[in-house]
Structure 1
Amino acid sequence: MASSLHLQPELVVNHRNIDMTGNREETQEHIAKEKNQTTSRLLSLPPEIQLIIWEFTVTSAEPLFINCACDSSYGGWTEEYYADRELWEKGERHPPWQPGLTRACASIRADALKMFYKLNTFQAGYCYECDLDIVIDWLKTIGAANREKIGKFIFFDANRKHDRNMPKDLIKILRSEVVRVMGGRVESTYDGKGCKHVVRFGPHGDEDLMALEGLFREEIPSKSPLQEVSSVSQRSGEPLPEPRGTDEKDHVAVKVTEMSTHLEELSLLG
């Protein structure tokens, strides 16, 4: 009876250009050296060409969806909406994975992964029909460092009256882990094309408040921020200063004030 030959996996080696009469340590050392000398042909291209290839490979002209969009994006409860919703429920559609190029090697990953998060638009629905849990899970999975790389993350509803009719859906976002745990800052925009809520993560999320604090310091630099707010509110008899034009900090202050007022109105409705 012929006996079958069994080889241990670690003894199976590429015998090309290897002296099989040598000892095992020399063989493994040769294989390791041969692998280390292998360099991707992509990395031999000029850096500017590499970056063009990375960007073309990892970016999309269309938003990358984190969950199934609300029915308003489909024009109502259409067959297309229910078909897409079923694909999401079955897992056949899913939040975006990191592109394969970013797993090619550490050198490529360092640039390509940053481009993937910075240059794409990540979009999620937030109406009562949308799965918010899958959005939170995705944000947790990519980690804090990658969340801070995101250039544009949007909660979107194509119905421009949605927040007026269903304010609790927006409040659900503001009370979710996206804001309370991950530190996301929500900026709302109503431009007639729908309800858009941009979320920013990381240290830059405090820029608005820092700019607001800077305005008070310009008025009374010798006092603390709390004293400054009190002093400004007490000077009711004094004439108000003239508007300072289109200074960037003024725009930021107005934006934060309008957003805070809007959120207070929504919380009263809740």
Structure 2
Amino acid sequence: MIRGTATSPEKDEPATLQVAANGFEPIARVDFDRARDLIQSRRHVGPRWLVDPGPNSDQLEELLWLAAAAPDHGRLIPWRFVLVPAESRHLLGRAFALALLDRDPGASEEQLVTAREKADRAPVLLVAIACTVSDRADVPPVDQLVSLGAAIQNIQLGAVAMGFSVGLSSGRAMDSMHVRSLFELAESERAICCISIGRSVKSNGVGRVRPNVDVRSLPPPPLSSLRCTTSSRLLALGSSDWRSAAPNAARSARRPIRPIPLMPTFITLI
């Protein structure tokens, strides 16, 4: 297995956000409309409908930068992505076929061929790996899986913005001993899904029916249920030490701005 840390491209300094008296100014309506249209235009496209060209190395790195922007409670980076290049797809296909034989020893040769072909259907194939930790009581595993889901969604939306189509696929084979061995997964790691990216040869159609958004006004809680508690012990921002402070210190404290780490995720090549 070859491991390599993706390097950061040269970036311009981020634009300074304009801060109003009561916080950040709202995003321009035209920007919201573009973001809304992008999100709503995303459609699942099965891997068999995806053809060349897929994202090049620069575009793939940009997509990983978007993944790195996902919410991450505790800054654990509880996920990574594995790039399966074309010359290694047969290894994943073999793992899929062996997993099928484990589930169904009587599987036909045609079924085994279909299982192997699932690994060779898209120009770019990423495998999303969950790397959850269990020794952080303040960051439960479900929070960590939410981070992975957000990272996957960021990759999907970024790929759509680049003009590609994306499909997610999973199944029982992802948790098989053969796939786990291929990706050398640790006990706490799990292969969640495949992310296939390419150009679609299938019409987007009308897409699936989206759920209705029913926004209802809830009555305010009774005043007797509202309680305000304060503590004279406040966590010093930016350090692990505790310090004494007045109860209103939290109102004026500001979390220090920390630099964004250079690509806190890496691609593994099998």
Q: Which has the higher contact order (CA 8 A, sep 6+)?
A: 2
Higher helix share: 1
Higher strand share: 2
Give me the TM-score of the superposition, normalised by structure 2. Answer: 0.21
